[in-house]
Amino acid sequence: MDHGPFILASYSIAAVLLTWCALAPLFSGRHLKRTILNRLKQMENDNASNP
Amino acid sequence: MNKFMLFIHKTGSPPWFYQFSGRLLPWVWAIFGALAIWGLYLGLFKSSPDYVQGESVRIMYIHVPSAYMSMMIYALMAAMGFIGLVWPVRITEIMMISSAPIGATFTALALATGSLWGRPTWGTYWVWDARLTSELVLLFLYLGVIGLYAAYDEPRKAARAAALLALVGVVNLPIIHFSVKWWNTLHQPPSLTAGGSAIDPSMLWPLLIMVVAWKFYYIATLLTRTRVRLIEQDQRKR
């Protein structure tokens, strides 16, 4: 039996899972920062229009 | 108060933790990268194939460290849950729930790579033996902790419920560890023990390097997730 496909599959699954696990919080962090910045801009606009 | 105790107290402060972890993260990622490259190079190119298993033994350099981490992270998660229950330290609660997806990832990885290793070695992808079944139960426990935390709106209540589940599930860890000794299992006995190892050094060194690399990966992803969750919780309060 050729063991190559099993080894390749194992390392591929490891690469995919560990990359996802590392990147997922970075993406949600970026989304969060964008939400906060948008909210701050909204507050500034509100303050500017209602001094 | 000595410097160490002062440091421990400081880490309980979210702003201080956020700044400290931000400075630490690049170094932790760099150490993980260096160890992972070194370990994989030794394991894939420098170590010999096993005289019985052949090349499939190279799956060991992913499988064994992942299985080890799956149990270590659960133990740490339960310890953090206990600390959060006794002394309600917010950072500890956040780190506890941030550890859960990382531990679940390592458990899933251990199960998947073990299954792929089992096919050429044992002739089957899965058997309901003690080691494999208890590791699968560990994955369900991780998913249960994540799901239970998500079911609550209030973070402190969520953390308390998740911590209780994590603590109850700790009983599974010695079952996983001793399963190969207590029962007749297809899974082999432990490769690494406190008394030493019978593995050839050309295989042992990459295995140990990968175990340490995975530990740095856990620290890096834990710090990243904790930082994001801190901001998320503070943003919800406003």
Nearest to A21 among B116, B120, B221 (CB): B221
CB contact under 8 A, A17 and B54: no
Task: Give the H/E segment covering residue B157.
Answer: helix B155-169
**pLDDT (tens digit per residue) in B160-169:** 999 999 999 9
**What per-residue confidence (pLDDT) applies to B42?**
94
Closest residue, chain A, to B110 (C-alpha): A14
Average pLDDT over residues B120-149: 94
Provide the pLDDT confidence category of residue B60 given band limits of 50, 70 and 90: very high
Average pLDDT over residues B140-154: 96
When mean pLDDT is compared across A13-17, B121-125, B161-165, B192-196, the lowest value belongs to B192-196
Residue of B21, B25, B59 to mutate, testing the A interface (most A Cβ within 10 Å of its Cβ)? B59
Provide the pLDDT confidence category of residue B80 given band limits of 50, 70 and 90: very high
**pLDDT (tens digit per residue) in B187-208:** 877 766 666 667 788 889 999 9
Distances (CA, A) of B163 to A2, B7, B32, B43, B209: 45, 24, 29, 37, 31
CB contact under 8 A, B120 and A29: no
Task: Give the H/E segment covering residue B176.
Answer: helix B172-182
Domain residues of chain B, as ranges? 25-188+196-237
Tokens of B200: 């050839």
What is the average pLDDT score of chain B? 91
Residue B39 or B55, more confident: B39
What is the average pLDDT score of chain A? 91
Please check whether residue B215 touches A, CB under 8 A. Answer: no
Q: Is pLDDT of B58 > 70?
A: yes
Nearest to A17 among B59, B105, B225 (CB): B105
Domain B25-188+196-237 class, CATH top level: mainly alpha
**Torsion of Cα atoms, B81 then B87 then B91 then B96, to 10°:** 0
First to last CA, chain B: 35
Provide the pLDDT confidence category of residue A19 given band limits of 50, 70 and 90: very high
CB contact under 8 A, A29 and B55: no
**What per-residue confidence (pLDDT) applies to A20?**
96
- Residues in chain A with CB shorter than 8 Å from the CB of B113 are 10, 13-14
Provide the pLDDT confidence category of residue B102 given band limits of 50, 70 and 90: very high
**pLDDT (tens digit per residue) in B13-46:** 888 899 999 999 999 999 999 999 999 999 999 9
CB contact under 8 A, B113 and A14: yes
Q: Is the distance from CB of B135 to CB of B67 less than 8 angstroms?
A: yes
**What per-residue confidence (pLDDT) applies to B87?**
87
Q: Which long-range contacts (CB under 8 A, 24 or more apart) does B154-160 make?
A: B155/B93, B155/B233, B156/B88, B156/B90, B156/B93, B158/B97, B159/B81, B159/B84, B159/B93, B159/B94, B159/B96, B159/B97, B160/B84, B160/B85
**What per-residue confidence (pLDDT) applies to B194?**
65
**What per-residue confidence (pLDDT) applies to B1?**
66
Task: Kindly indicate whether the ipTM for this predicted assembly is greater than 0.90, answering yes or no.
Answer: no
Average pLDDT over residues A27-47: 90
Going by the DSSP 8-state scheme, the letter that residue B50 receives in this structure is: B
